[in-house]
Amino acid sequence: MTRVFSRDRRRNLQDADWIVGWIRVHGPATIREIVAAMKEENRDIKAHTIKRALTKSQFVFKSDEINVDGERHSLYKFKETIFDD
């Protein structure tokens, strides 16, 4: 049981790192855009993995909110250093 958990956890961390890297190159981006990119790359789309990447990373932050199709969406951006304002 432990090996399966470790393998799944490792995969989730890799996916979270991939999201952060994708935002660094293509950001700022909404969650919709992140999900679309993950689909393109045939990655597992899991809400907790996306949340982990967006909230736990010291390099990703919510920069703004925009309206898309009449709905408010958060815009996430990559911060080059943790010391930027």
Q: Which of 60, 42, 43, 41 is nearest to 51 (CA)?
A: 60
Evaluate if residue 84 carries a pLDDT over 60. no
Structural domains present in the chain: 2-78 (1.10.10.10)
pLDDT for residue 3: 65
Give ∠ CA 17-20-22 in degrees, rounded to 5.
110
Q: Phi and psi for 83 in degrees, rounded to 5?
A: -95, -5
Cis peptide before 28 (omega within 30 of 0): yes
For the segment 15-41, what is each residue's pLDDT rounded down to a tens digit? 999 999 999 999 899 999 999 999 999
